[in-house]
């Protein structure tokens, strides 16, 4: 039983803590942002080195280190976006009355630089991890990327539980691109696909012998996928603990900035 509980708890705690730290940091005064960006970039450099060093490592430590490395690689993008350093050329509210496609084009312009940087980074991670024995970091990164895209599309097409006040004040114009309304047709499709992906990973984990390396990695990735699915559901259902005022991250909301941040999803958030 410990072989299952340990990686599950590690994944949940890392998800909870890293989300809270990001929310706390972006809620600090703007004069701290450069130091946050510098620290995040230092962690990114360390995670990249770890990605190289862990390529052929198959110990229990390598499984946990690989998962943490993937989370750190992804977290850099979240931090740089929420700080407002890497977003897009459009930094103004959505014009009223736009049809779906023009609104999609306009919203894409608000985040296109961010998306391009993620895509370039994903290619780099894929190249480094190609043929490696330990690909846990890469799978973690790509899972977070895929689930984030899915959640963003749900937000774009419309959902009732979008906590749009999670954004810091310098990104408040993004709220105008969200649609807080009844569940869109896209939402059940996205949730079904996300749930199917999580189920496939869980099935693979369940059919892997309980030894230190492969099973631990798959269990952590399956746990993260399950959390992402819950966050998808939180956009359409009022799930306690995943809403904007969640007690899970209450400690992270005690920020000196006058405009506190609140989570919409650990895509993670996003």
Quick: pLDDT tens for 1-45: 667 789 999 999 999 999 889 989 998 999 999 999 999 999 999
Establish if 143 belongs to a structural domain: yes
Domain membership of residue 27 (yes or no) is yes
Structurally, how many domains does the chain consist of? 1
Domain residues for the domain of 95 are: 2-253
Q: Is residue 117 a part of any domain in this protein?
A: yes
Structure confidence at residue 256 (pLDDT): 44
Residues 219-235 have pLDDT tens digits of 999 999 999 998 888 88
What is the C-alpha separation between 163 and 255, in angstroms, rounded? 18
Residue 269 lies in a domain: no
Helix (H) or strand (E) holding 108: helix 100-129
The pLDDT tens digits for 112-164 are 999 999 999 999 999 999 999 999 999 999 999 999 999 889 888 888 877 66
Model pTM score? 0.88
CA quadruple 149, 154, 158, 160: dihedral sign:
negative
- Any domain includes 270: no
Domain for residue 35, yes or no?
yes
Q: For 92-106, how does the pLDDT look when each residue is reduced to its tens digit (9 = 90+)?
A: 998 888 888 898 999
Q: Is residue 259 part of a domain?
A: no
Tell the residue number behind the tokens 């450069």, with chain if given: 34
Question: Is 265 within the bounds of a domain?
Answer: no
Query: What pLDDT is attached to residue 252?
Result: 73
């Amino acid at each position: 039983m410990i072989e299952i509980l340990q990686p599950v708890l590690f994944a949940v705690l890392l998800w909870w803590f890293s989300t809270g730290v990001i929310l706390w940091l972006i809620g600090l005064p703007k004069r701290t942002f450069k130091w946050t960006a510098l620290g995040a970039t230092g962690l990114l450099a360390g995670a990249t080195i770890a990605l190289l060093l862990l390529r052929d490592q198959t110990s229990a430590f390598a499984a946990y280190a690989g998962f943490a490395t993937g989370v750190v690689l992804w977290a850099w993008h979240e931090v740089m976006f929420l700080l407002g350093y890497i977003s897009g050329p459009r930094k103004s509210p959505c014009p009223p009355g736009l049809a779906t496609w023009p609104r999609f084009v306009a919203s894409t312009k608000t985040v296109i630089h961010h998306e391009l940087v993620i895509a370039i980074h994903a290619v780099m991670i894929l190249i480094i991890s190609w043929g490696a024995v330990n690909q846990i970091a890469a799978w973690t990164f790509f899972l977070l990327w895929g689930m984030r895209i899915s959640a963003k599309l749900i937000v774009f097409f419309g959902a009732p539980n979008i906590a749009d006040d999670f954004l810091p004040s310098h990104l408040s114009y993004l709220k105008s691109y969200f649609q807080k309304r009844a569940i869109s047709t896209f939402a059940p499709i996205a949730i079904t696909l996300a749930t199917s992906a999580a189920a496939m990973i869980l099935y693979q984990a369940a059919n892997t012998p309980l030894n230190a390396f492969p099973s631990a990695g798959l269990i952590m990735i399956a746990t993260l996928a399950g959390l992402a699915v819950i966050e998808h559901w939180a956009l359409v259902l009022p799930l306690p603990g995943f809403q904007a005022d969640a007690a899970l991250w209450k400690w992270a909301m005690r920020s000196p900035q006058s405009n506190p941040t609140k989570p919409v999803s650990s895509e993670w958030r996003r």
